[in-house]
Amino acid sequence: MASKGFIEILRLADLAKARQSGRYDAQKKQWVGVVFEVSGQRLIAPMGEVSEVLSMPDLTTIPLTKPWLLGVANVRGRLLPLTDLTSFLSLSRAPVRPSQRKVLVIDQPGFFSGLVIDAVLGIQQFTSAQYRAESLPSDSPLAAYNHGKFVKDDEEWFVFMPSLLAQDQRYIEAAI
């Protein structure tokens, strides 16, 4: 299983590439996030809201829960509830190899949860000038958890906020 070290290695690798290419400027305010995919949609979560990235662990199912709650996994002595984010959001499932699936661990005061996603693509850095306060369309299942986007090299990177998911009563109440 990967731990916080995995995210740190990704961050350091990106920092090394940035310094080597000359795109790193310590004077500019940097925003750093973990890039991941859910149902073919590329999203980015703030680095401060994702405590670690894991490979898919062994899990134990829990009876009488909603289908999107896959079960719990023992992660270093703590029980981590695992949510299939694609299923929770009622998105269509993109074809993904099982080895690509990862778990974003959200560890905030009073909230410890794992979001099973299709793939982690790395870490991306942005400046505050690249941020746009434009959200996903309101009919998107991801809209309630979106907080703007970053635009870089003619690509859009929509921000997914796990802290907003942690406040959603539908997510908190997983029992049938």
Q: For the stretch 40-74, what's the b/e string if a residue is b when 16 or more beta carbons lie within 10 angstroms of its beta carbon?
A: ebbbbbbbebbbbbbebeebeebeebeebbbbbbe
14, 125 Cβ separation under 8 angstroms = yes
- The continuous run of DSSP H or E covering 148 comes out as strand 146-152
Q: Which pLDDT does position 27 carry in this prediction?
A: 52
Per-residue pLDDT tens digits for 28-39: 678 999 999 999
Domain with 45 in it: what CATH number? 2.40.50.180
Longest Cα–Cα distance of the chain, Å, equals 54
> What pLDDT, on a 0 to 100 scale, did the predictor assign at position 82?
98
Residue ranges of the chain with pLDDT lower than 50? 1
What total of structural domains would you count in the chain?
1
Domain with 61, as residue range(s), is 4-172
